[in-house]
Amino acid sequence: MKEPSKSSYPQPPSKLKHYVTACIVLLLLWGSSVQTEATFGELFEGIPEMLKLLAEMFPPRWSYFDNIVPAMLETIRMAIVGTTIGGLLAIPVALLAASNLSRSWWLRYPVRFALNLIRTIPDLLLAAIFVAIVGIGPLPGMLALAVFSLGLIAKLSYEALEAIDPGPLEAMTAVGASSLQRIWFAVIPQIQAHFMSFALYTFEINVRAAAVLGLVGAGGIGHYYEVTLGFLEYDKTVVIVMFTLAIVLLIDYASTKLREKLL
């Protein structure tokens, strides 16, 4: 019996593509570091200054804790209100942007373009714009978080809407249900758990974002970051950082447990 030739066996895939990809990535990293004038030498030279800064942070001035509790509560309230407003506005926007629910391309694409535009603007810039419109305080921070939440939740929601099972929609259409009835009975039951998960995820992000919006006068704990850093009171700054970290970890744990229950 004739043995099969070596050429008849399947050949392993070529590794040339992986080598070329690695070379391109390294070339981009090198080119980016050269253009930005970022070198490891400068990083190593700055290590003594980093250690000096850390030395100035410790021990933390725990007596400053009472001063920042009201500001932290204000930060959390800003995140709650901003996320709620943005989430409610995201519902009709997501329905208009989903291709399986909105058949009018002349309506769907402008809505998607608006969402892309909203997500392009950083939350700090949004806060600065609203500060210029309504003045200093928590209100511009809440408005900035609401706009940011609208862009993020609507984006995630309409992508989830496009992945739902079309069977219930087709069944509702076959029995002559109206558009509102199709959404209420065929769409919402499939998307509500995902929507709540997106809202909780956005709330986590908003707590972190609200913590620095005070840098532009939008209220919250960020104002104390600006004050303590401006006066080089790093022992107070580390108290704010540790308090913020504890709040973020607590919220992250609670929202994770809630998402597990929903999904």
DSSP string, 212-242: HHGGGT--STHHHHHHHHHTT-HHHHHHHHH
Question: Does the residue 21 lie in any domain?
Answer: no
Has residue 8 got a pLDDT over 60? no
Nearest partner of 78 among 149, 148, 145, judged by Cα: 145
Query: Residue 213 belongs to what domain range?
Result: 78-262
Question: How many structural domains are present in the chain?
Answer: 1
- Residue 76's Cβ-side half-sphere holds a number of Cα atoms within 13 Å equal to 14
Q: Are 177 and 91 a contacting pair, CB within 8 Å?
A: no
Residue 239: CATH number of its domain: 1.10.3720.10
pLDDT band at 89 (very low <50, low <70, confident <90, very high): very high
> Which range has highest mean pLDDT (100-109, 215-224, 238-247)?
238-247
* Cα–Cα dist 16/78, whole Å: 52
What does the pLDDT read at residue 263? Answer: 62
- For residues 120-135, average pLDDT: 85
The single-letter DSSP state of residue 12 is P
Residue 4: the pLDDT is: 55
- The proportion of the chain whose per-residue pLDDT surpasses 90, expressed as a percent, equals 6
Instruction: Classify residue 156: in a domain, yes or no.
Output: yes
Question: Widest CA span of the chain, in angstroms?
Answer: 90
Q: How far apart are CA 103 and CA 91, in angstroms?
A: 17
Residue 175 falls inside a structural domain: yes
Q: What letter does residue 176 receive in the DSSP assignment?
A: T
| 136-150 per-position pLDDT tens digit | 878 888 898 999 999
Q: CA torsion, points 30, 31, 35, 38, in degrees to nearest 10?
A: -10
For range 230-248, the mean pLDDT = 85
- Residues 6 or more apart whose CB falls under 8 angstroms from that of 97 comprise 108, 111, 112, 115, 154, 158
| Residue 119 · residue 102 · CB < 8 Å | no
pLDDT for 24 equals 92
- Is residue 32 assigned to a domain? no
Whether residue 108 is predicted with pLDDT greater than 80 in this model: the reply is yes
Hey, what are 157's tokens?
């929601």
- Asked if residue 27 is part of any domain, the answer here is no
Whether 53 is covered by a domain: the verdict is no
Tracing tokens 């909105």 back to the chain, one arrives at: 102
Residue 2: inside a domain: no
CA distance linking residue 235 with residue 223, whole number of Å: 16
Question: Is residue 215 a part of any domain in this protein?
Answer: yes
Specify the pTM.
Answer: 0.77
By CB atoms closer than 10 A (0-12, 13-18, 19+), residue 114 is middle
pLDDT tens digit string along 187-220? 888 888 888 888 888 888 888 888 778 777 777 7
